[in-house]
Structure 1
Amino acid sequence: MVEHRPVFQRIADDLRRQIDEGVLAVGARIPSRAELKRAYEASDQTVDRAVRMLKAAGYAEGQFGRGVFVADRAPLGILLRSTGAVDSPFAASITHVNCPEGTPLTWEATSTTEAATEPVARRLHIAPGDSVVCTQYEYLADRRPVQLATSWEPLAITEGTDVIFPEHGPYARRGVRGRMAAIGVRVVRAEERVGSRPAASAEAEALGCPPGSCVTVVERTHFDADGRAVETSDIVVRADRWQLAYDIAFV
């Protein structure tokens, strides 16, 4: 059978197979560049490209001065997204995690006022440049990073109220529905779109994964009874460590 795969792809596939089958266990050193060159009769560039593919896929991680090692890819747990959980600041509940029962969930948040970019404006049905309150969240369980989120709310809705900043004031940490209800806005539904992309450098650093690793991104938008978008957010989790589960009730 004629082999049509590029050599770098064949090297990466062989190493992935060895990792999946347990031949190379978590923490084991990936063969060195010299060893891979001899085994596959490949160039430095070809071997380096194969190893970069492994790293980008989350199969391996480099340790400065030591080499490249098989990464731990076991799922940390499941983030359950249901009617109740979606409205919480975390936007999910942890149904299983490799941490002790009752592991506390903490988060930090920073809010600023800024001009809406074109993509954010499109999701909120406002004009680019309109003022929005942007809140950036970092969530941790047992001091380990779980999720990042960035939320945008039209300033025209909350300006001059007690809920202008989601994490400050008398209605802090009430979730979108609770905060909006406090100013007479009834939120009736949320829409989510799930996708994936490579992690940006800052995201990778915050989530503890190599730059370029695959992350799952949830675009969530809340709407009021008149169909007006009152909040939109990007929720980011490591695709290799967390599964998203949806609880769908039929009534």
Structure 2
Amino acid sequence: MGDSRPVYQRIADDLRQQIDEGVLAVGSRIPSRSELKRTYAASDQTVDRAVRVLKAAGYAEGQFGRGVFVTDRSPVGSLLRTGEAVDSPFAARLLAGSSAAPPLLWEATSTATGAPPRIAERLGIGAGDRVMCTRYEYLADRRPLQLATSWEPLALTEGTEVVFPERGPYARRGVRERFAAIGLPVVKATELVGSRSATSTESQALGCSPGQCVTVIERTHHTADGQVVETSDIVLRADRWRLEYHIAFPG
């Protein structure tokens, strides 16, 4: 039986296989449009679509005026998900020899705003209720590694020393320590892990192609009586980061 895949998909799959097997090494140029047209007897549109598939999958990136090149897809490290690490600003284990080496830095901007409906639902408040929204960008060697957006109900924090997560006496202390300081001890965090295509803004910040797959973690902090004090979205490149879970079994 003949190959029933669309031609663009066959081209993309062939190129992916060459990259996975090392025939096309990291940093090498993908065959040009004219070369691919000759090899596969394909049109400009078909070849361009195949290359777009490669870029969206994180296998290649375009360099203006030079062509399309194979990208480095080796893991940078692991995002640690443990009771001790989940609340830290950037809980990660970088692989030995990784080009993304410490020191780790982050930038944050906080703005009081109304809660979007999906965030209000996660926080258990009304849509439009005031929240403190903090956007983070984590970097190593000035390279972006992770994005995060956090929301906290201002009904809980306004007028306190912890209203700004990155300012004041409890700056950069983490959700648990900050909320314990105002009498709201956090006893549990829940996480939902998923994947989706990167938005254009995310791809620009993370250095990947628009539409490339990213891992998204929805993290929510709860008090003992079930009150939600914070929820956040963590976004990182799925091709460069693994999730590392430490699971302790009872007795």
Relative to the length of structure 2, the TM-score reads: 0.96
Q: How does 1:13-24 map to 2 (within 5 A)?
A: 13-24=13-24
**Deviation of residue 96 (structure 1)?**
2.5
**Deviation of residue 27 (structure 1)?**
1.1
**Deviation of residue 102 (structure 1)?**
7.7
1:54 aligns with 2:54: yes
Contact 1:104/1:141 (<8 A) preserved? yes
Alignment size in residue pairs: 250
Superposed CA deviations along residues 153-184 of structure 1, whole A, max 9, x for unmatched, are 01111011000010011111110000000000
Q: How does 1:185-196 map to 2 (within 5 A)?
A: 185-196=184-195
Match of 1:31 in 2: 31
Unaligned 5+ runs, structure 2: none
One-letter amino acid matched to 1:171:
Y
**Deviation of residue 97 (structure 1)?**
4.8
* Separation (CA, whole Å) in 1 of partners of 2:99 and 2:235: 24
Contact 2:100/2:143 (<8 A) preserved? no
Contact 1:80/1:95 (<8 A) preserved? no
Q: How does 1:131-142 map to 2 (within 5 A)?
A: 131-142=130-141
**Deviation of residue 99 (structure 1)?**
4.2
Kindly tell me: are residues 101 and 125 of structure 1, through their superposed partners in 2, closer, same or farther at Cα, counting changes over 3 Å?
Answer: closer
One-letter amino acid matched to 1:176:
V
Match of 2:42 in 1: 42
* Separation (CA, whole Å) in 1 of partners of 2:10 and 2:98: 37
Contact 1:134/1:153 (<8 A) preserved? yes
SS at match of 2:85: helix
Kindly tell me: are residues 95 and 75 of structure 1, through their superposed partners in 2, closer, same or farther at Cα, counting changes over 3 Å?
Answer: closer
SS at match of 1:52: helix
One-letter amino acid matched to 1:11:
I
Contact 1:76/1:98 (<8 A) preserved? no
One-letter amino acid matched to 2:31:
P
SS at match of 1:55: helix
* Separation (CA, whole Å) in 1 of partners of 2:92 and 2:20: 29
Kindly tell me: are residues 109 and 244 of structure 1, through their superposed partners in 2, closer, same or farther at Cα, counting changes over 3 Å?
Answer: same
**Deviation of residue 125 (structure 1)?**
1.1
Moved over 3 A (4+): 97-102
One-letter amino acid matched to 2:67:
G
Kindly tell me: are residues 46 and 110 of structure 1, through their superposed partners in 2, closer, same or farther at Cα, counting changes over 3 Å?
Answer: same
Identity of aligned residues (%): 71
SS at match of 1:53: helix
Unaligned 5+ runs, structure 1: none
Contact 1:77/1:98 (<8 A) preserved? no
Superposed CA deviations along residues 124-170 of structure 1, whole A, max 9, x for unmatched, are 11111000000000111232211110000011110110000100111
**Deviation of residue 100 (structure 1)?**
8.1
Match of 1:168 in 2: 167
* Separation (CA, whole Å) in 2 of partners of 1:167 and 1:139: 14
SS at match of 2:84: helix
Kindly tell me: are residues 100 and 117 of structure 1, through their superposed partners in 2, closer, same or farther at Cα, counting changes over 3 Å?
Answer: closer
SS at match of 1:83: coil
Kindly tell me: are residues 106 and 12 of structure 1, through their superposed partners in 2, closer, same or farther at Cα, counting changes over 3 Å?
Answer: same
Contact 1:107/1:138 (<8 A) preserved? yes
* Separation (CA, whole Å) in 1 of partners of 2:41 and 2:156: 64
Relative to the length of structure 1, the TM-score reads: 0.96
Match of 2:214 in 1: 215
CA RMSD between the two structures: 1.5
One-letter amino acid matched to 1:59:
Y
One-letter amino acid matched to 1:223:
H
Kindly tell me: are residues 197 and 6 of structure 1, through their superposed partners in 2, closer, same or farther at Cα, counting changes over 3 Å?
Answer: same
Q: How does 1:77-226 map to 2 (within 5 A)?
A: 77-90=77-90, 92-99=91-98, 103-226=102-225
